[in-house]
């Protein structure tokens, strides 16, 4: 057995003996709801009582960082072994979405790790406590086997990701020197399929905005005024319908890339989108024609209506409503200029006779689109490592279908970004009954142990 195999076997044995589950159960039990203002102490407890001590036990030095724009603290852990060795930045977030305690299945709690029918349930198991815990444990097993990592490691844990990562950009700008590294290796989001190891290289951008029509001060009887005054609900429906075809193809040229790069098409050629038994089925007739499902979600833009309201949906009355409102979203990829998104929409609406539609950005966080080249040497190195560990061909996604603050790492810190997710699309992330199958966590631990071992082998890319 090689030393690499020994490290992976050690990680596997530790998992099978329940060590990982016990550790994860402690972390799930800390109610780190960053959206709940009463959980400030829990956010700090997670860093002081769990993450900091775990890093220090591995020989890392830790310091808690704060920023005036952040509502929660950060932790930076660092282990520098050799000036000439590669330096890798890790990232994770210890905060979670609200627990929604009353909405979980009977006998389940967001704050107690529970096994049921071959799944582990608990808030944060998928997003993101389980994922960064895997990466931390993998480094521990490498150190225990080799006596060292063989590379320099830095790891940033934030506690405000679920509220839009306030202060993260400013902190990274100020701490650019302390966070200097050769690349980012981190874990978040889902695999393409639960059983297929996956690497993604960035994220789609995201912009939310509101469309509304304020026609008049109040409603008017639909019998007396129907056919005489405009109905903003109908007008807004037509305005939204003009944005896409009846099958969801975007009709605003500035919202889509001019082309799909050849390297993106190549890596997506063998990627099949599958949400598992609990997920929805792909509808092949929806979206941009001529693209595969994988190309539509990982290589193209998508427009969605998240909410729509006119009149009183709960108690409809016989009156023409005075107003209509919709919350909309554009997910976009590299090649779409975010500065042009809303001006292009304004021109489109005016051109189609919808000048009465008011357009406003929301206060929600904006995410930029990011993607590194799938042909990058570090990407090829990471894919080879995952394949060696699992005996499977990893899926390479140019970017996550969702959004992350990845542009902070690419643009502010100037890093290549390689994400190795340890979740799957049907995990009920952000919903009640968040869960993961333990075999996925177990394979994730093996994958990361092998990846970190290879980082310290002295055979990494030089550029």
174-190 tens-digit pLDDT: 999 999 999 999 999 99
Reported as half-sphere exposure (CB side, CA atoms, 13 A), residue 46 has a value of 32
Q: Is residue 389 part of a domain?
A: yes
Residues 337 and 383 placed together within one structural domain of the fold: no
Select from 396, 394, 163, 194 the least CA-distant residue to 279. Answer: 194
Number of structural domains found in the chain? 2
Domain encompassing residue 312: 205-257+301-361
Residues 49 and 39 placed together within one structural domain of the fold: yes
The pTM score is 0.91
> Given this model, what pLDDT does residue 361 score?
93
The residue out of 361, 393, 412 marking a domain boundary is 361
Q: Is residue 271 part of a domain?
A: no
Which CATH number goes with the domain that contains 451?
A: 3.40.630.10
Contacts for 289-295: CB closer than 8 Å, 24+ residues apart: 289/247, 289/249, 291/260, 292/268, 294/192, 294/268, 294/397, 295/260, 295/264, 295/265, 295/268
Residues 354 and 374 placed together within one structural domain of the fold: no
Residues 165 and 185 placed together within one structural domain of the fold: yes
Q: Is residue 274 part of a domain?
A: no
Q: Is residue 283 part of a domain?
A: no
| Spatial distance between the Cα atoms of 397 and 264, rounded to a whole number of angstroms | 8
Tell me: cis bond preceding 153? Omega within 30 of 0 counts.
no
| Spatial distance between the Cα atoms of 147 and 81, rounded to a whole number of angstroms | 11
| Spatial distance between the Cα atoms of 173 and 61, rounded to a whole number of angstroms | 21
Q: How far is CA 90 from the centre of its chain?
A: 15
Residues 356 and 387 placed together within one structural domain of the fold: no
Residues 349 and 213 placed together within one structural domain of the fold: yes
Residues 231 and 334 placed together within one structural domain of the fold: yes
104-129 tens-digit pLDDT: 999 999 999 999 999 999 999 999 99
Confidence of residue 52 (pLDDT cuts 50, 70, 90): very high
| Spatial distance between the Cα atoms of 129 and 131, rounded to a whole number of angstroms | 5
Q: Is residue 11 part of a domain?
A: yes
Which CATH number goes with the domain that contains 226?
A: 3.30.70.360
> Given this model, what pLDDT does residue 2 score?
81
Q: Is residue 462 part of a domain?
A: no
Q: Is residue 404 part of a domain?
A: yes
Q: Is residue 355 part of a domain?
A: yes
Length of the chain: 463
> Given this model, what pLDDT does residue 421 score?
98
Residues 32 and 133 placed together within one structural domain of the fold: yes
Confidence of residue 280 (pLDDT cuts 50, 70, 90): confident
Residues 73 and 140 placed together within one structural domain of the fold: yes
Residues 181 and 320 placed together within one structural domain of the fold: no
Q: H or E stretch including 383?
A: helix 377-390
318-339 tens-digit pLDDT: 999 999 999 999 999 999 999 9
Residues 213 and 149 placed together within one structural domain of the fold: no
348-402 tens-digit pLDDT: 999 999 999 999 999 766 899 999 999 999 999 999 999 999 999 999 999 999 8
Q: Is 65 exposed, middle or buried (0-12, 13-18, 19+ CB in 10 A)?
A: middle
The residue out of 336, 361, 386 marking a domain boundary is 361
Residues 339 and 409 placed together within one structural domain of the fold: no
């Amino acid at each position: 057995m090689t030393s690499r195999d020994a490290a992976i076997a050690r990680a596997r044995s530790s998992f099978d003996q329940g060590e990982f589950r016990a550790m994860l159960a402690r972390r799930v039990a800390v109610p780190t709801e960053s959206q709940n203002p009463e959980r400030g102490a829990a956010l700090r407890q997670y860093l002081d009582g769990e993450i900091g001590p775990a890093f220090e036990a591995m020989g890392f030095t830790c310091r808690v960082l704060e920023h005036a724009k952040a509502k929660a603290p950060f932790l930076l852990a660092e282990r520098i072994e050799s000036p000439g060795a590669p330096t890798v930045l890790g990232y994770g977030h210890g905060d979670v979405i609200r627990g929604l305690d009353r909405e979980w299945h009977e006998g389940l709690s967001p704050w107690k790790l529970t096994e049921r029918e071959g799944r582990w349930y608990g808030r944060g198991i998928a997003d993101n406590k389980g994922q960064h815990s895997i990466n931390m444990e993998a480094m521990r097993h490498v150190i225990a086997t080799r006596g060292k990592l063989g590379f320099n490691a830095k790891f940033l844990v934030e506690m405000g990701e679920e509220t839009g990562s306030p202060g993260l950009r400013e902190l990274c700008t100020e701490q650019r020197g302390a966070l200097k590294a050769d690349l980012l290796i981190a874990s978040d989001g889902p695999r393409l399929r639960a059983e297929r190891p996956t690497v993604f290289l960035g994220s789609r951008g995201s912009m939310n905005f509101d469309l509304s029509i304020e026609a008049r001060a109040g409603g008017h009887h639909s019998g007396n005024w129907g056919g005489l005054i405009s109905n903003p609900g109908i007008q807004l429906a037509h305005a939204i319908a003009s944005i896409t075809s009846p099958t969801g193809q975007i009709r605003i040229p500035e919202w889509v890339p001019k082309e799909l790069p050849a390297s993106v098409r190549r890596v997506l050629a063998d990627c099949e989108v599958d949400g598992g038994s609990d997920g929805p089925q792909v509808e092949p007739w929806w979206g941009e024609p001529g693209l595969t499902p994988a190309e539509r979600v990982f290589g193209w833009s998508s427009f969605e209506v998240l909410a729509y309201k006119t009149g009183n949906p709960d108690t409809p009355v016989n009156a023409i409503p005075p107003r209509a409102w919709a919350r909309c979203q554009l997910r976009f990829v590299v090649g779409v200029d975010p500065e042009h998104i809303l001006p292009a929409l304004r021109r489109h609406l005016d051109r189609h006779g919808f000048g009465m539609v008011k357009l406003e950005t929301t206060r929600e966080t904006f995410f930029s689109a990011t993607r590194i080249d799938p042909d990058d040497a570090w990407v090829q190195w990471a894919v080879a490592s995952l394949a060696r560990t699992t005996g499977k061909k990893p899926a390479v996604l140019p970017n996550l279908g969702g959004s992350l603050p990845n542009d902070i790492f690419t643009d502010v810190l100037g890093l290549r970004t390689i994400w190795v997710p340890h979740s799957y699309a049907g995990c009920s992330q952000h919903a009640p009954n968040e869960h993961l199958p333990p075999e996925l966590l177990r394979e994730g631990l093996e994958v990361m142990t092998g990846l970190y071992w290879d980082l310290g082998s002295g055979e990494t890319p030089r550029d």
